[in-house]
Amino acid sequence: MDTLGIDKNGAPVIIEFKKSQNENIINQGLSYLRWLLDHKGNFEILCKNKNVDVDIDWDSPRVICIAESYNKFDIDTVDILPINIELYRYRIYNENILYLEPENYQKVRISTSGIIKKSNKEKTEVLQKDYSVDQHLEIASEDIKSLFLTLREKITALDEDVVEEAKAKYIAYKLSTNFADVVILHNSLKIFVNVKSGKLNDPDNIARDLEKPKHIGHWGNGDYEIKLEHQKDLEKVFNLIKQSFDFNK
């Protein structure tokens, strides 16, 4: 495989590069994913040797393909696969600028129940575990459900390319990278915005800086945590999310 890594959320990542269009790139990525899931122990040792201080999320492995172009069959195949494969097109400008843009956005994850592999003992294992917003909402009170749905509508209205993706611990909102991650609790929403410590304009002092006075470990991306409990605070919180959106777009 061309590149093997791990993202900030602990998901193993396989990246395949092709200089031009290549019909085998998707098949290669899937083959390498199968190999990786058969060699979890080796990957965990590699992460330990590289001092990777994050729990590995084996439920959400990522396959990223980067090529100059894709044909219609590639795109159609990826759209119907129950595995989320990320396609990116690259452009080179003035021989020293590399520009990447997404070829596909899967805004709705398809169930992965049909994509399985069999071991020698005939057990089955799901390659990618599927999470949903509804699962996260199961623990929320009715007021918090209503509050989340209102916030969700405002976030997704920021741009038609905003992607909502349910993870194991939170719901991510992203363009090329996450700009807000929402954890649903019974009586509140906990929101992490992807802004560096000291860069958030927070006149109402409602965000918690997770880097000061010392680093606090947390789910999600960014250095700020915001707690939302009441509808009356929604606009203040959304203004901070909008800042993160502007920083990351």
* Amino acid letter for position 29: G
Those residues whose C-beta lies under 8 Å from the C-beta of residue 67, and which sit 6 or more positions away, are 17, 18, 19, 20, 21, 22, 25, 87, 88, 89, 90
The bridge status of strand 62-67 relative to strand 85-93 is parallel
pTM: 0.63
β strands within 187-223, DSSP E:
189-193, 207-209
Q: Domain-by-domain residue ranges, the chain?
A: 3-126, 133-248
Nearest to 222 by CA among 200, 246, 237: 200
pLDDT in tens, the chain (249 residues): 899 999 887 889 999 998 876 667 888 888 999 899 999 999 999 999 999 888 888 888 989 999 888 888 888 878 777 777 888 888 888 778 888 888 865 443 433 344 444 444 444 455 667 789 999 999 999 999 999 999 999 999 999 889 898 988 899 999 878 999 999 999 999 999 999 999 999 999 999 998 876 666 566 678 899 999 999 999 999 999 999 999 998
